[in-house]
Structure 1
Amino acid sequence: MAKASEIKVGNILRYNGELVSVTEVLHRTPGKGGAFYLDKFRNIKTGKIVEARLATDEQVEICRVETTDYQYLYEEGDYMVIMDNVTYDQFSIPKSLFGTSARFLKEGMNVIVSFESEEPIMAQAPNNVELEITYSEPAVKGDTSSGALKSATTENGVEIKVPLFINQGDKVKVDTRTGEYIERVK
């Protein structure tokens, strides 16, 4: 247990029985009454923002979270199987922890997973991933305008928008957070 005055942005707390990440800490000293903290927390499971008013000496539970690099092995239903790079232990992580970036994962890719007392609470894919284009419509000559895009399918079956000069067999860099094309890889 720790005092509210020891809370820092980025800490993971157990607040009202839920795991929350601290996003903002404000110290207030009004003219009347004692000082207090106005904190903003983001619920780790739901993503909901919660505001809390804590007295300076109020007790809070700061959770110990271990964040480590793992290797993504394969998808198994609603779970992603990952392996610890040091001990070779395998874990099944709910696909929902990766969010929309789960569709860009390739076997052998490194991912970051956070555990709190043996329970996975957060998972993060790399921000950028290189994928090969397996299918794209051929561009028609004269069909160019500023920033024209066409649909293309990547090696893992995800359809993205790419510029007209991208062809089948090209490797492209894709932002896993937004699903947008970044650049062609040589």
Structure 2
Amino acid sequence: MAKINGNEIRPGNILEHNDGLWVAVKVDHVKPGKGGAFAQVEMKNLRNGSKLNERFRSADKVEKVRLEQKDQQFLYENDGMLVFMDNESYEQIELPADILGERRPFLQDGMTIQIEYHEEEALNATVPQKVTCKVVETEPVVKGQTAANSFKPALLDNGVKVMVPPFVGQDEDIIVNTETMEYAERA
């Protein structure tokens, strides 16, 4: 693992601090009038989700951790546990369903997702940025409604509600951006 100075911490970096693995959520570089500069870092624990605010001076050394990323295929859900298979070794692992957070409804059978490991421990999982979903319920198209920024609510087959343009109808497939939870384009 690489040691970096406290002023080199950036959002998204994974740090080993106080015997835990933390992701830097927000970093503010502060230069007070008196004394040395420091980085005020808001961190989130990757194992239990707790938060911590910490100050790092430029002379402080912290361990920067690199997580190994593996693409794994989703097989099925069993008692609140998601079962994934490694596409190379065909090994199966179980992870709690809440590892995906609010992106959980976008997980589909056979979907390949990226799981991040620290040594042998799975810490994070992300669904693809764009996922195809079917619109199961939306208002019908109103003829003559051509306002540039008019959107209407739509319910997707996975239970998620998104705003869609007026031309999208019921039973149409659309592509949803899973990071912003918004309509991206027609499928």
Q: Note if contact 2:134-2:171 (Cα within 8 Å) is conserved in structure 1.
A: yes
Task: Report the number of matched residues.
Answer: 180
TM-score, structure 1 length as denominator? Answer: 0.75
- Quick one: structure 1 residues 93 and 179, their matched pair in 2 at CA, closer, same or farther if it must change by over 3 Å? same
Superposed CA RMSD in Å reads 3.2
- Which amino acid is 2:81 matched to? Y
2:43 corresponds to which residue?
A: 42
Unpaired runs of at least 5, structure 2: none
- Quick one: structure 1 residues 57 and 105, their matched pair in 2 at CA, closer, same or farther if it must change by over 3 Å? closer
One of 90, 100, 107 as aligned partner of 1:88? 90
After TM superposition, the structure 1 = structure 2 runs for residues 65-104 of structure 1, keeping only pairs within 5 Å, are 65-104=67-106
Identical aligned residues as a percent: 33
- Quick one: structure 1 residues 88 and 140, their matched pair in 2 at CA, closer, same or farther if it must change by over 3 Å? same
After TM superposition, the structure 1 = structure 2 runs for residues 109-120 of structure 1, keeping only pairs within 5 Å, are 109-120=111-122
- Quick one: structure 1 residues 116 and 39, their matched pair in 2 at CA, closer, same or farther if it must change by over 3 Å? farther
TM-score, structure 2 length as denominator? Answer: 0.74
Deviation at 1:176, TM superposition (A): 0.9
Deviation at 1:86, TM superposition (A): 0.7
Q: Note if contact 1:160-1:180 (Cα within 8 Å) is conserved in structure 2.
A: yes
Equivalent-residue separation in structure 2 for 1:77 and 1:170 (angstroms): 32
Unpaired runs of at least 5, structure 1: none
- Please give the secondary structure, in 2, of the residue aligned with 1:98: helix
- Quick one: structure 1 residues 183 and 50, their matched pair in 2 at CA, closer, same or farther if it must change by over 3 Å? same
CA shift digits 1:56-115 (9 cap, x unpaired): 375x44445221111122333433222111111122222222221111121122211111
Equivalent-residue separation in structure 2 for 1:49 and 1:14 (angstroms): 13
- Please give the secondary structure, in 1, of the residue aligned with 2:105: helix
Equivalent-residue separation in structure 2 for 1:78 and 1:40 (angstroms): 33
Equivalent-residue separation in structure 1 for 2:50 and 2:173 (angstroms): 34
CA shift digits 1:16-36 (9 cap, x unpaired): 1321124659698x997xx78
